Structure 1
Amino acid sequence: MSRLSIELPSHFPFSTTLTIGIGDINYGGHMGNDAVLRLAHEARLRFLKSLGHTEMDVHGCGIIMSDAAVVYRAEAFHGDELVVSVAVADFNKYGCDLLYAMVRKRDGTEIARVKTGIVFFDYPARKVARAPSAFVSRFQPTTDTDGERHEGLPTE
């Protein structure tokens, strides 16, 4: 099986700081693999909150995680503060990808890269929903003055 690769954008519209707690540590003395997705979940909640949304209400739709990928780059330990940055990319009819960069705050070491695929969901109808146009348009790829394209940046 080939190694996973997660390409990150050069800019992220949102960052938050999370601290590695004792429950995030495994028997090897470092952050466990299950903790990475838990931290991504917390960063996703904070990102959506910064936009005035929740996982149950993004312009009237909920979201469901459809897939996840993690690439580990270095160990993290109890008490480490991680800056977790979030960007949006690769929209399709029903969802998009959220990309996360996890970097240790004190020394800038990249700890992990994460990608979670999300689909929008109509909970009352119990079915997948189209990606809300207001959310999609907010994160359309932009081009800066040098002609460089940026994925997952707000257009406002």
Structure 2
Amino acid sequence: MENFSFVMPYKVRVVDINYGGHVSNAAVLNYFQDARIAYLAALGPYSELDIGNGCGLIMPESHVHYHAEMFHGEDLNIGVRTHLLGRSSFELAYRIERGSELVAEGTTPLVAFDYQARKPRRLPAAFKESLARFERLDPRNPPEKC
């Protein structure tokens, strides 16, 4: 998958299907979450609840664009990459393909969040460096700001 340094395979399960006979909206957001968790683990010892310095991540919104239906049993590939990088947030872009066909794509902004203090924080420097290294970005000149 071009321009994605992380790709995760996924097989559509029966629980992902809605009454319309195709993958549900909720399932696609779950695909994004599963891929995001795997992406963070690939960066280093990170998770949605721990990106260092007492910070986790919180997602204020999500966007999904569907290009085609997805069905039970299909093999998909879910790509994740950092799309935007700011001081206290970054945005992940997702791409779901069936073979070489684009079936869905989307974004989720993620904000560094101190769950004890219940407030946003700056991205920890070590996390930001790991992200830049994984994505082969210059941390002094990252892609656009959030």
Same fold (TM over 0.5): yes
Q: What's the offset of the Cα at 1:19?
A: 1.4
Q: 1 CA distance for matches of 2:124 and 2:3?
A: 23
Q: 1 CA distance for matches of 2:27 and 2:90?
A: 23
1:58 alignment partner in structure 2:
51
Three-state SS of the structure 1 residue aligned to 2:15 is helix
Find the partner of 2:93 among 99, 104, 121. 99
Matched, 1:121 2:113: yes
Q: Percent identity?
A: 36
Three-state SS of the structure 2 residue aligned to 1:39 is helix
Find the partner of 2:9 among 14, 17, 34. 17
Q: What code does the residue aligned with 2:48 have?
A: E
2:24 alignment partner in structure 1:
32
So what's the TM-score if we normalise by structure 1? 0.79
**1:34-86 deviation digits (Å, cap 9, x = unpaired):** 11101100000111111221111112310011111001011110011211011
Gap regions ≥5 residues in structure 1: 1-8, 144-149, 152-156
Q: 2 CA distance for matches of 1:10 and 1:22?
A: 29
Three-state SS of the structure 1 residue aligned to 2:61 is strand
Q: What code does the residue aligned with 2:25 have?
A: N
Q: 2 CA distance for matches of 1:81 and 1:114?
A: 19
Q: How many residue pairs align between the two structures?
A: 137
Q: 2 CA distance for matches of 1:57 and 1:12?
A: 23
Structure (1/2) with the larger helix percentage: 2
Find the partner of 1:112 among 87, 104, 111. 104
Alpha-carbon distance change, 35 to 48 in structure 1, aligned in 2, over 3 angstroms: same
1:83 alignment partner in structure 2:
77
Q: What's the offset of the Cα at 1:10?
A: 4.7
The two structures, once aligned, show a CA RMSD in angstroms of 2.3
1:154 alignment partner in structure 2:
none
Q: 2 CA distance for matches of 1:138 and 1:54?
A: 13
